[in-house]
Amino acid sequence: MNRLFIYSFSLFALLLTTGCGADYLDINDNPNVATRPPLDGLMAGTSLETATNLQTVSNGHAGYFVQYLASPNVGSSTDTYDRVQNQGAWGSLYDTMTDIYDLIRFGEEEGLTRHVAIGKVLMAINLGQVVDNWGAAPYSDAFTGSTLRPTYDSAEDLYQTIFNLLTEAIELMPAAVDAPEVGEGSDFIYNGDLDQWTRAAYSLRARYLNHLSETGQYDAQAVLSAVDNGFTGNDDNAAATAFVNRNPWAQVAVANAGLVLGGWLSEQFIDATNGVTYGEEDPRLPLITNRTVDSTFVGTPNGAGRQGNGTETTEAYLIPTSIISSDNSPLYIITYAELKFIEAEAALAAGDQERADTAFRMGIRADMMEFELADSVITNYLAATYGEDAVTVDDIFREKYVALFLNPETWVDARRYDYGYADFELPQRAALQEFPRRVLYPSTETNRNAENVPDVTMLTPIFWDM
């Protein structure tokens, strides 16, 4: 939306200052310039940007709020919840949605049904990030250029829009088979594979239906129905694996190695996986981060800043050789493992303990397989940690927290779970007395569109956070 505002404002100012009619402005038209961008180019840009937008949300605030990450600086504003906006993520999401809007409308005009169907799924993903982080937001009149101050749709209405987009995409997929194909290399997620996009749309539907778990709208059977049509294995995972330079988490790791500090791992996440909190070391941890000079894993307490003196490795960071943060590591949007945890939670709510138990263990196994852990290692972990015990809600949120490492979806879970993770505490020097429920609207909105921006604080819940 920032780009739309700047363009519209500049054009408006030009009209005022020239006082001339449209005929005068025609002298600036270049007949050799295309009137619309190539749709494969829009597909390439928006598919990659959709994945990187999730990283921008996580690295900007969500990863700190769920204490995956911690700042090496004492009292960092993001660590301590001090009026966090993440204006960069807001701008990136709206830039991407503006391009997706064009992808959909031009695709409809040209009969490119594949592009349209995929565009609707991409729009749902980006819009979901806006709602789950900020709440009410511009959408209905945000992309048409008809107003400089777009109205804010309610978060509830935007969720219905998300469901509508996914339903429309699913319904378009069969007809899209006969439409012109997406250009080779233009879709950075599934390379135009409609079967996988269909499964992704159902999996996303399950995710957003499950977000309603604390509301009267929750329907566990509807969640399970969506799951049944969703991913069937890790090969279906929605992720970008090709980047302009490198995976953006790898860029964080490279920058940190060059002392542009970032990507420090929180004490909370490290203790949840190194044996301090639960008694056993998670076999995924050595594949995520480094050991210290003492051959242990040590995290940084949120709000407290670095604990070492900077002359030796005394804390855990994202590293360029990690399975999460190497140059070509997958940048996940939604995974089969996440879907299995969603299934386990919904099955418990529906009273189907057996299905919950099976889905839960499949979720752990699926994520560990992405780490290429041996089957014997996975089996031993499941046996030692859970045995034949019936799965509980606490078990689901514990394992999902690790499996979704660095995915901003975990902040939705944290709020639905009332931050109930074991030993989860407010950061040192916290600016709030409670855990945050949203981020603030960016100053670009409060300065330019104040009459429409809702009056909220970081403790104002999103509608699904009861």
What does the alpha-carbon distance between residue 230 and residue 77 come to, in Å, rounded to a whole number? 39
Scored b (16 or more CB within 10 A) or e, 22-46 reads eeeeeeeeeeeeeeeeebbebbbbb
pLDDT confidence of 466, banded at 50, 70, 90?
A: confident
Collapsed DSSP state (helix, strand, coil) of residue 318 = strand
Per-residue pLDDT of 326-348, as tens digits, reads: 999 999 999 999 999 999 999 99
**250-268 as b/e: b if 16+ CB within 10 A:** bbbbbebeeeebbbbbbbb
The confidence band for 10, taking pLDDT boundaries of 50, 70 and 90, is very low
Q: Are strands 331-334 and 238-240 parallel, antiparallel or unpaired?
A: antiparallel
pLDDT tens readout for residues 121-137: 999 999 999 999 999 99
76 C-beta neighbours (distance < 10 Å), count? 18
DSSP letter assigned to residue 59: I
What secondary structure does DSSP assign to 401-412, as a single string? HHHTTT-THHHH
- Asked if 92 and 286 count as a contact pair (C-beta separation under 8 A), the reply is no
CA dihedral of 247, 199, 103, 45, whole degrees rounded to 10: 10
Strand partners, 265: 69
Backbone phi and psi for residue 238, each to the nearest 5 degrees, phi listed first: -90, 110
Q: How far is CA 339 from the centre of its chain?
A: 15
Mean pLDDT of 172-177: 96
How many Å apart are CA 173 and CA 323, to the nearest integer? 34
Structural domain 37-192+436-449, CATH architecture? Alpha Horseshoe (1.25)
Residue 115: DSSP 8-state: H
Give 309's pLDDT tier (boundaries 50, 70, 90). confident
Q: Could you read off the pLDDT of 39-71 as tens digits, one per residue? A: 999 999 999 999 999 999 999 999 999 999 999
Q: What are phi and psi of 69, to 5 degrees?
A: -115, 155
Give residue 23's pLDDT. 39
Residue type, 222: A
* Predicted local confidence at residue 217, as pLDDT: 96
Which region holds residue 279: left if phi is over 0, alpha if psi is between -120 and 50, else beta?
A: left
Structure confidence by residue, pLDDT tens digits, 235-268: 999 999 999 899 999 999 999 988 899 999 999 9
Report the candidate in 82, 100, 98 with the shortest Cα–Cα distance to residue 90: 98
Return the closest-CA partner of residue 411 out of 76, 209, 133: 133
List b or e across 55-74, with b for residues whose CB sees 16 or more CB atoms inside 10 angstroms.
bbbbbbbbbbbbbbbbbbee
Is residue 395 within 8 Å of 363, Cβ to Cβ?
no
Q: List the structure tokens of 233.
A: 């294995």
312 secondary structure, DSSP code = S
pLDDT above 80 for 5: no
Q: Which whole number is the average pLDDT over 300-324?
A: 91
C-alpha span between 198 and 164 (Å, rounded): 14
Choose among 252, 234, 257: nearest CA to 368: 234
Q: pLDDT above 90 covers what percent of the chain?
A: 88
Q: Is the pLDDT of residue 360 over 50?
A: yes
Tokens of 327: 């140059």
Q: Are 350 and 221 in contact (CB under 8 A)?
A: yes
| Residue 92 contacts residue 371 (beta carbons within 8 Å) | no
At which residue do the structure tokens 């233009």 appear? 186
**What is the average pLDDT value for the chain, to the nearest integer?**
92
Cα-only R_g, the chain:
23
* Domain chopping of the chain, boundaries: 37-192+436-449
